[in-house]
Structure 1
C-alpha cells in the first residue's frame, strides 16, 4: 500500500500533462462512480462492500454510501465529506436530475428528491433495473444523454423523467459492460472487459423497435480494435496470468482484461477527439484518438509501446473516468488489491492475492484529475440567470454545455424559449444549436417550426439532430413531420438517409398507416445500404413477411442487402415460434433458470440469442445441444479463442475472446449447474435428448481435476468429438 502522495509519484503520465490528487481516504472510500453538480461538488458512489476477501464474504451487507465531497477552502482538493445516503447494498451508479438523484442499488433504481443536501421522498423507479447477473454484469452508468433520456451500460432499457415528475422506460440497444459515454452529437460509446472501444454511429434512442432483429447496422460498432496494453511493471495478478499469451516475457499484461469506464473526452483543454479507457488490472489509462468521416467514427491508440497514464502501484485501480467543470479528466481510483469478482476468480489469482497480501487494506480510495500543464482551466459554476445558461450551451467544455441544458430543463425555465429559438435561427455554433434544440425538447415545448429551423441549418450534423428530435413529437404529427422531412431531404442524400429511415421507423411504431409506406419506399430506394436496410426493418415489427413479398417484386434481386437482412429476421421469427414453452422449462428447472439469469444471460442474452460484441448464441448451438460432457467441460473450465456456432465463426473483436470457466466457484453446486445445463439444452428451440445430471459434472471434474486453463475449440473436438 502506498500513501496518496507516494502513489502519485508511482505514476507516469504523458509528457506535458500533470496529475493532481483531488480526494483520498478517509474522505472517500471504494469509489466506483460520481457526478458533479452545478456547484462543482462531487457526488460519489462508494461500493464499500465489494470483495472484502476472495470469497466475497459480506457483500450483502448494507455498507455502501453516496457522499458529497466539497472543496471549501478553494485549494482544488476536497476537504469536506457529507454522507447523503448510507446503508446501501452494493450501489453502482447515480444520476443528478430534476432536483433529485437516481441511485442504482441492485435490483432497484431509486429516485430521491434533494432538500438541503438530504434525501427526501424516496421513489421506486424500477424494481428490476439490475435484476439478475452478478456485480460484474449488472446495469450501470445512468448517463444523461443529449436527447434527455438516461442510458446505461450492460442494459437495453432507457429512462426519462418528464416535466410533471413521471418516469418512462423504453427499450433500447444493449450496450457494454462497465461505464458509458457520449460524444458531442449524443452518440454513445462503451466496451467490455476485454475490448478497447465500441460505439454507435447513430443516435441512441432509435433503431431498437424490432425485437426480432439481433443486430442493427451502425450500433455496437468496434471503434478501436487494438486491445494491446503497455503496463510499466510486471502484472502477474491478473485472472488468467498463467495462460500463454496473457502476460509477455516480462510478466506484463498483453491485452485488455478489465477494460472499463470509457470516456469520450469533451472537456475542451485536451486537444483532439480522444477516448480514454481505464484498465485497473494493469494500473493504467489508455488514450485513443478518434476520427470521424460522415456518420462513421474510427479510432486508433494514441501511442505504441506506452500509455497516457500508467502506475507501478498495483493497488491503483482506475475504474471510471469523467469530464469535470474545469475541463480536467477525472479518474476514480478504487484503490485496493482485489479487483476481480469471486464469480470468475481463478485459483491462480487467489494464490497471487494471498502471496502478495492483496486482500488488505480495505477502506481506501482516491480521485485524481489529469490536465495539460499549459492549459487554462476555468472552473465553471452553473449560474441562475437564464441568458447566462443559454450562452453556456455554446461553451467549449462539453460538461458545461450539458449542465446548462440540464439546469434549464430541471428548473423548468420556460422563459428561456425565446432565447433558445433565437439560437436555432442565428449564427451560433452547431453545438450550441443542438443543445438549444434538445433543451426546447426537454422543456416539452418542441414544435414543427423548431424542427424546420434546425433542418435549414448549413451543417448536416444539425440537420441529423433535427431528424432525431422530430420523433419526440409522436405519431399524432406523423403526416406533417413526414412532409417536412421529405421537403428537406432528397432520397439520394446518403449521408442523412439512415437518420431519416430511423426517424421514419420510430414514427411507424406510433402511426403505421401514415409512416410505413414512406419507410418502405426509403428502404427500397437504398437496397444495398445496410444502415438504411436495418433502420427500416427496425420499424417493420410484425410486418416483415409482407414487406419481403413487396421487396421480392420490386427488387427482383435476392442478393440485395435489404432482401437478405429482412429474410434473416424472418428466419429468426420462425425459429422463435418453434422455440417451445419457456415457462414450463422454468418450472421444471427453477434453479437452472435462476442461475442462467445470473451467470449466462448477461453475455448470451435473455432469449439465448447472444449479445453483439460479447458472446455467441446458445439457441441453435451445437455446443449446447451436442455431447453433454463436452458442454460440461466447456462450462466448468472455459473456452478461449474462436468458436464455430451454427455455421459462423465467432472471434474477437466481434465477441469477447474468452468464456470464463466456473469450476472453482464454490458458490455454485453441481446440482444447480446440472439444472442450468439441462435448461439451456432445451430452451429457445434447442432439443437435446438427455438431461445433464450432477454425476456428469463429477465425471468431468474427476477427469480434469484442478485444471485452470480454458479449452480451445480444437481441444474439445479432440477430446469429445464434433457431434
Structure 2
C-alpha cells in the first residue's frame, strides 16, 4: 500500500510545486527540501512583504468567487478611499503620511495625493495614473459632484473645480470639517446619498451644493470609518469593535433637538455578533496580550478595527448576496459578510457563516480599509497594504514589540485595489452617456451604483428635458427602485410636485410611502401645508404604524407653517402609541426647549408613569437640568488650554463633548467617581488604559454597551507630565465635576511608579 501511495503523494506535491513555483520545469522531480517546504505549516513568526500577485495567492475567498487585481504599486500608494466617475475611472485618496514609523513621525508632511486611475486597454486592470492633487496632509475622503471634487483634508473640507483632469478654482466649504479628534477619529466618507445630501462617518454634519452655495446641516453622529447606504437610502456604519450599526429611518430626520442625546432608530445595532475568524494567527493587534483578545491559536476573537461597511447593491453576485453587508477588518486581514432581515422599518442581521469569513488572507500586510460597489457590479477592496495601521495615540508597547519582531514598519510605498467577482463571470462596466433619456432609463438598472450615478448626473446636469420623463417614471410602480430614484431626482432638480408626493403616500408598498414621507420636507410650503397635514392625519387614522415615526418627525417641518396642526399631530401620536419608543423619540425630536411645557400639556391626558414616552421625555428634561448646572467650558478652556485640546483630540470622540459618554464606545466622565475620586487611580487609567467592565454611578458598563477597552496615552514617553496634568485637571473641573486639580509632580510620581507597566488596568486591579 505504501508503495502505491508514495508515488501518488509525490505526484501531488510535484503538481502543487509546479503551479506555485514558476521556475520548475515540467516533468522534473522536486528536491527533498522542496517536498519538506510544501508539507511544512506556514511560518507565521515572519511576515514577508509580498507582491500583489503573491498576496493574492494568500487569500481564501468564498467558494464560487475569485479576487482580481485592479491596481498596485507603483500605480497606487497607501490608498484609503476611492470613488468612480461616470467613465468608470477610479479616483483614489492616498494617505502617504500615515504612521511612517511607530512614533508617527512626519504626519504633518504634505505628501498625500488624489490620483486618477484609468484602464486604457479595458482589460480590467488600471494602467495609467494621473495626479490630480498633491501636497496634501493626511487626506481622507473625496466626493465627485457637478464639475468638481470635494476633498477632506484636516481640518478643512475643500471643493475643487475640475478642468481637464486638473484642479481649478478652490472653495473652502467647511473649515471645521475635522475639528477635534485624531486621524483615527475624524470625519470621513463623503457619501452622496439617495436624498441628495452628503453624509460622513464620525460626524454630525451633512452637506449639499445649491448653486454656488454650500448648505451645512446638523445630523446624527455616525460611526468611525466608512459609511454606506441601502437601496432605500438608509445609512450603515460601525465603530472599531462593532460589526454593524445603522439607521432604521431616513437620514434627514430626528437630529433637531439638541437636548436629546440619542434617537431610537438611529445608531442601532444591526448585527450584534462581533466574532471574527482570521485565516492566520494575529498576535499583532494592540491588545493581543490581554486575556480573551486572542484564542488558543493566537487568532483575534472579536472585531478590533471594524471599518468600511458596504451594502452590496450590485447585479453581478448571486441574488442571495443582494443587500448583504460586507465589513472590513484590517487587523485580522479579512472581510466579513452579514445578511439582513427586514421587518417593517426594523432591520436586523447576522453573520453569514459560522467559523469562517467571506474573504481572509494569511498575508499580515493585507489591510482592507474600505469597500465599494463598482460600475461593473463587482465588490471593490481598498488594501492599504502596510504593517502598521494603529495610530500612535493608541500604540501599546506590546504592539510596538510585535511590529519590531516582524519588521512591520515596512513597506511604506505599497497599496492595492482588488475586486471580488463570481467565477465564470466577466464584469462589464455600464456606459453612462449624458443623454437625459438614457439616464432616466438607467434609474431602474439592477446595479445600484448605476442608479445612483444616473440620478447624480441628472441632478448635476440640471436637464429640464428630463423632468417629463421623470414624472412618467414615477408611475412605473412595478419597478419601485426606479420610482424612488425618479422621486429624488425630481427633488434634486427642485421639480417635485405636491400631487406626486400625495399620490405616493397612498401607495400600498411601504418603500414608496417611506420615500414620499422622506421627501416631504423638500416640498412643504405655505401653499400646500394644509394638504400634507390632512394626508398625515389620514395615515394615522388608517393605523399606518410604519408611517407613525415619520409623521412625528415631519411635524417639525410642518410647525413652521402651522404650529397648532403640528402639535395636534404630536398629541395624537402620543395618545395612540404611548409605549412605542420609536414614536416617542420622534415626537421628542420636535420639542427642543419646550419639553416641560409639552409634558404638562400632554401627560395629563395620557397618564401612566411606566409608559415609554413619559420615561424618555423625562430623561431629556433631566439632561437639560444637568446641563444648566455644568461649568462654563470657555472658562475652563482658558484655564487649561492644553488640557482642553488634548480632550478634544483624544477623549471627546468616545466620551462625548458633554462628558456623558457615547453609546457603544465609552461610559460617562461627568459625575464619574473614577474622575473625581482618587488621583492616582485616575492618572493610572489615563496613562495605561482600562479594560473590561467598569461601574460608574451605580451602573455596570461592559461590552457591547461600551467598547470595553479604553486605550492609555502614557505609552508615549515624550508626552509631558504637565500636559497630562492639564488634561486631568480639565476633566475633573468640567461639567458637574468639581474635584481638585492634578499637578505635574503627581503625574510624574505615578509614571515613575508604573514605569515597567505595559498593559491596561482592570477595575478590580485598581480597586485593590
Band the TM-score falls in, shorter-chain normalisation:
over 0.9
Partner of 1:69: 117
Hey, what does 2:619 align to over in structure 1? Answer: 568
Structure 2 Cα separation of the partners of residues 489 and 518 of structure 1: 9
Secondary structure of the structure 2 residue equivalent to 1:644 = strand
2:138 corresponds to 1:87: no
- Determine which structure has greater relative contact order: mean sequence separation of CA pairs < 8 Å that are 6+ residues apart, divided by chain length: 1
Deviation string, structure 1 residues 549-569 (Cα, Å, up to 9, x no partner): 123211111111001111110
Report the equivalent of 1:287: 337
2:206 aligned with 1:206, yes or no? Answer: no
CA contact (8 A) 1:220 1:613 kept: no
CA distance in 2, matches of 1:299, 1:483: 36
Q: 2:264 — aligned with what?
A: 217
The number of residues matched between the two structures is 716
1:700 shift after superposition: 2.1
Q: Confirm whether residue 31 of structure 1 aligns to residue 46 of structure 2.
A: no
Q: Relative to structure 1, is the Cα distance of residues 492 and 620 closer, same or farther in structure 2, using a 3 angstrom cutoff?
A: farther
Structure 1 residues 305, 487: closer, same or farther in 2, change over 3 A? Answer: same
**What are the within-5 Å matches in structure 2 for residues 31-430 of structure 1?**
31-162=79-210, 164-270=211-317, 271-272=319-320, 273-375=323-425, 377-430=427-480
Which residue number corresponds to residue 590 of structure 1? 641
For the residues of structure 2 that align with 1:172 and 1:643, how far apart are their CA atoms?
30
Distance 1:382 1:706 in 2: 62
Deviations 1:538-558 (A, max 9, x none): 011111001111232111111
| Residue matched to 1:543 | 594
Looking at structure 1, the residues matched to 691 and 299 of structure 2 have their Cα atoms a distance apart, in angstroms, of 20
Say which is worse superposed, 502-511 or 251-260, in terms of deviation. 502-511
The aligned counterpart of 2:4 is: none
Distance verdict in 2 for CA 1:145–1:538, change over 3 Å: same
SS in 1 for 2:733: coil
The 1:492/1:649 distance shift into structure 2, 3 A limit, reads: farther
Q: CA deviation at 1:714?
A: 2.3
Shift of 1:516: 2.7
Aligned to 1:462: 512
Equivalent residue number for residue 608 of structure 1? 659
Asked if the contact 1:182–1:188 (Cα under 8 Å) also holds between the matched residues in 2, the reply is yes
Provide the C-alpha distance between the structure 1 equivalents of 2:699 and 2:479, rounded to a whole number of angstroms: 47
1:618 CA drift (Å): 1.7
Cα distance, 1:501–1:444 mapped onto 2, change above 3 Å: same
The answer on whether the counterparts of 2:477 and 2:483 sit within 8 Å (CA) in structure 1 is no
Q: How far does the alpha carbon of each residue in 1:465-497 deviate from its partner, in whole angstroms, 9 at most, with x for none? A: 111100123464543322232234436221211
SS in 2 for 1:439: helix
Match of 1:721 in 2: none
TM superposition shift of 1:236: 1.3
* Greater CA drift, 698-707 or 592-601: 698-707
Radius of gyration: which is bigger?
A: 2
Q: TM-score, normalised by structure 1?
A: 0.97
Please report the RMSD computed on the Cα atoms of aligned residues, expressed in angstroms: 1.5
Match of residue 695, structure 1, among 725, 745, 748: 745
CA shift, 1:644, in A, is 2.1
Distance 1:313 1:275 in 2: 23
Runs of at least 5 residues in structure 2 that lack an aligned partner in the other structure: 1-48
In structure 1, runs of 5+ residues without a counterpart are: 719-723
Matched residue, 2:535: 484
Provide, for residues 563-600 of structure 1, a one-character-per-residue CA deviation record: whole Å limited to 9, x for no partner.
Answer: 11111100000000111221111111111111111111
Alpha-carbon contact 1:20-1:369 (below 8 Å) kept: yes
Please give the TM-score of this superposition, normalised by the length of structure 2. 0.91
- Cα pair 2:242 2:274 within 8 Å, conserved: yes
Residue pair 1:491, 1:522 contacting (<8 A) in 2 also? no
CA distance in 2, matches of 1:195, 1:12: 23
Partner Cα distance (1:489, 1:355) in 2: 65
Distance 1:626 1:236 in 2: 35
CA distance in 1, matches of 2:141, 2:561: 32
- Answering whether residue 684 of structure 2 is matched by residue 633 of structure 1, we say yes
Contact 2:92 2:117 in 1 (8 A): yes
Question: Whole-Å Cα distance in 1 between the matches of residues 212 and 570 of structure 2?
Answer: 34
The alpha-carbon deviation at position 384 of structure 1 amounts to: 1.5
1:60 shift after superposition: 0.3
